[in-house]
């Protein structure tokens, strides 16, 4: 039996070194070291030997089993190493093939811009105050110092409803009246709000003009708010929105609800002011209208204009989005073509 054992040992050793894959190795293990493996069986049959041979045989059989187990482990490691090396070397895929497309959601570009505006203004202490889309003529115009039939009304082409005096708001400015009356506590409290919302104008829809669009109005009321504050605040905003180097220009203009009034231009961030198609070769992009709140509007909001002052501004999120991303047709915004929306 000892000879038989030695023969098996030699044979096992011999075959093991030739094994180069995991499956054959597993078979080898079953053949020699498994529960019914040749070495195991021989070892188990130790009891059949004469008593004086048992110790020697048992010792040698155990020794061989251990040696083979160790050799198996070594060979296993060798095979693993080889297989790993082979996989690393040969298991290449074409990494230029496209990835599995995932279902990616996204916010509408207007929402993205509005959020950016909310964030910037929040840091300057302006909170979001929303008001209604359908307004009365009084709040949309008259209380903002635009009396009935006043020529200033030509600045806003209005959608009237079949109910006299009920209109779709032409701008977010009626929110100024709501905010002052709602938050001002009868003209005793300072206010800093932004008023986003959908506005409507009776205007033919073209690539450049829409009948429906967002506006974002800002209003700051206090006991000591100056035009210089308006300039400083809007300049700070423009640098956050359009880049730290953004140059800002203030032009005199007219809005009935502010006095003095101004338009605000930012140096074209696409051409650096050199002149390009987007800025129509003027180097400036109009980004907002603004001014000091007209004393009449302050009064209509419940404030004494001799004691209180404030500024207001209005900007167009769609226009800003168009400028930033080179969108040439404003009709894309409410068209909701997914091929457009998926670009944002």
Partner 1 sequence: MQVPVSWLREFVEIDIPVELLAERLTLAGLEVASISYIGVPQGFVEGVRWPISNHLVWDREKILLGAIREVKPHPDADRLVIAVVDYGGAAPEQTVTGAPNLFEYKGKGPLDPPLWSPFAMEGAEVWDGHSEEPKRMVLKEKKLRGVPNRCMVCSEKELGISEEHEGIMLMENPRGIAPGTPLQDVLGDVILEIELTPNMARNYSILGVAREVAALLGKPVKPPSFDYLAEGGPIIGQAAIEIREPELNPRFTLALLRDTEVRPSPQWMQWRLTLCGQRPINNIVDVTNYITFEIGQPLHAFDYDKLKARVSGKMPKIITRLPDPGEKLDTLDEVTRELQEHNILVCDEAGVLSMGGIIGGAETEISDTTTNVLLEAANWNFINIRRTMQSQKVNTDAGVRFSRGVHPSQALLGVQRGIELMRQTGGGQIAQGIIDEYPLPAPTVTIDLNMSEVERISGMVFTTQQVADILTNLQFTVVVAGDVLHVTAPDFRMDINSDSQVGQADLIEEITRIYGYDLIPDTIIADAMPSQWTNVALEREERARDILVALGLRENISYRLTTPEREAQLNPHHTGAVSHEGYIELANPLAADKSALRHTLLISLLENARGNIRYTPRQQVFEVGNVYRGRENGALPDEPRRLGLLITGPRRVDTWTHDEPGDNVDFYDLKGIVEGLLGGLKISGVTYSRSSHPSLHPGRSALLNVGGKEIGSFGELHPLVATGFELTAAPVFVAEFDLDALLDFVDELYTAQPLPVTPPVYQDIALVVNNETSAAEVVAVIMKAGGNMLKMARLFDLYTGDPIPAGQKSLAYNLVYQADDRTLTDKEVAKVHRKIMQAVERELDAKVRA
Residues between 300 and 339 with contacts to partner 1, criterion CB under 8 A: 305-306, 309, 333-339
Q: How far is the CB of 168 from partner 1 (least distance, A)?
A: 8
* Residue 187 binds to partner 1 (criterion: CB under 8 A): no
Identify residues 214-273 at the interface with partner 1 (CB under 8 A): 220, 222-229, 231-233, 235-236, 249-254, 259-262, 273
Q: Which of 34, 71, 136, 187 binds partner 1 (CB under 8 A)?
A: 136
- Rounded distance between C-alpha atoms, residue 338 and residue 318, angstroms: 17
- Rounded distance between C-alpha atoms, residue 195 and residue 180, angstroms: 12
Which range, of 25-33, 51-59, 278-286, 320-328, touches partner 1 by CB under 8 A?
278-286
* Residue 207 binds to partner 1 (criterion: CB under 8 A): no
**What would the DSSP string read from start to end of 280-337?**
TTSSEEEEEEEEEEPHHHHHHTT--TTT-EEEEEEE-HHHHHHHHHT---TTHHHH--
Which range, of 5-13, 23-31, 62-70, 106-114, touches partner 1 by CB under 8 A?
106-114
Task: Please list, in sequence order, all residues whose beta carbon lies within 8 angstroms of the beta carbon of residue 229, skipping any fewer than 6 positions away.
Answer: 220, 311
- Rounded distance between C-alpha atoms, residue 196 and residue 41, angstroms: 86
Residues in the chain: 344
Closer Cβ to partner 1, 231 or 324, answer by number: 231
- Rounded distance between C-alpha atoms, residue 207 and residue 202, angstroms: 15
Identify residues 3-62 at the interface with partner 1 (CB under 8 A): none
Q: How far is the CB of 276 from partner 1 (least distance, A)?
A: 11
In contact, 333 and 211? CB cutoff 8 Å: no
Number of residues that bind partner 1 (CB under 8 A): 102
Closer Cβ to partner 1, 48 or 162, answer by number: 162
* Residue 163 binds to partner 1 (criterion: CB under 8 A): yes
Q: How far is the CB of 6 from partner 1 (least distance, A)?
A: 51
* Residue 96 binds to partner 1 (criterion: CB under 8 A): no
Closer Cβ to partner 1, 200 or 242, answer by number: 200
Question: What are the strands of the beta sheet with 284-293, ordered from one edge?
Answer: 127-128, 191-200, 212-222, 309-315, 284-293, 258-267, 248-255
Q: How far is the CB of 217 from partner 1 (least distance, A)?
A: 15
In contact, 131 and 179? CB cutoff 8 Å: yes
* Residue 116 binds to partner 1 (criterion: CB under 8 A): no
In contact, 215 and 171? CB cutoff 8 Å: yes
Q: How far is the CB of 231 from partner 1 (least distance, A)?
A: 5
Q: Smallest Cα–Cα separation from 198: which of 112, 114, 257?
A: 114
Q: Which of 20, 55, 155, 207 binds partner 1 (CB under 8 A)?
A: 155
């Amino acid at each position: 039996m000892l000879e038989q054992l030695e023969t098996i040992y030699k044979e096992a050793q011999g075959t093991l070194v030739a094994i180069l894959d995991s499956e054959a190795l597993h078979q080898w293990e079953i053949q020699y070291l498994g529960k019914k493996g040749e070495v195991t069986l021989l070892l188990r049959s130790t009891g059949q030997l004469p008593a004086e041979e048992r110790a020697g045989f048992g010792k040698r059989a155990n020794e061989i089993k251990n040696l083979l187990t160790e050799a198996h482990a070594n060979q296993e490691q060798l095979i693993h190493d080889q297989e790993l090396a082979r996989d690393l070397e040969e298991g290449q895929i074409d990494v230029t093939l496209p990835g599995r497309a995932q279902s990616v959601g996204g916010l509408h570009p207007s929402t993205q811009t509005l959020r950016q505006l909310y964030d910037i203004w929040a840091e300057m202490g302006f909170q979001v105050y929303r008001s209604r889309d359908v307004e009365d003529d009084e709040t949309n115009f008259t209380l903002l110092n635009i009396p009935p039939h006043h020529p200033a009304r030509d600045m806003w082409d209005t959608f009237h409803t079949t109910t006299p005096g009920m209109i779709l708001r032409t701008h977010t400015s009626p929110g100024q009246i709501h905010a002052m009356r709602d938050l001002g506590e009868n003209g005793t409290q300072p206010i800093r709000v932004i008023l986003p919302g959908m506005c409507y104008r009776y205007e033919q829809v073209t690539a450049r003009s829409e009948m429906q669009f967002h506006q974002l109005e800002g209003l700051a009321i206090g006991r000591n708010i100056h035009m210089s504050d308006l300039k400083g605040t809007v300049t700070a905003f423009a640098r956050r929105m359009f880049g730290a180097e953004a140059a800002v220009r203030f032009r005199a203009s007219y809005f009935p609800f502010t006095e003095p009034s101004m338009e605000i231009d930012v140096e074209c961030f696409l051409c650096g002011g050199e002149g390009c198609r987007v800025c129509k070769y003027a180097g400036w992009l109009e980004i907002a209208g603004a001014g000091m709140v007209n004393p009449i509007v302050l009064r209509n909001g419940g404030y004494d204009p001799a004691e209180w002052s404030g500024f207001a501004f209005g900007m167009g999120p769609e226009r800003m989005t168009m400028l930033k991303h080179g969108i040439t047709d404003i009709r894309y915004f409410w068209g909701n073509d997914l091929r457009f929306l998926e670009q944002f």
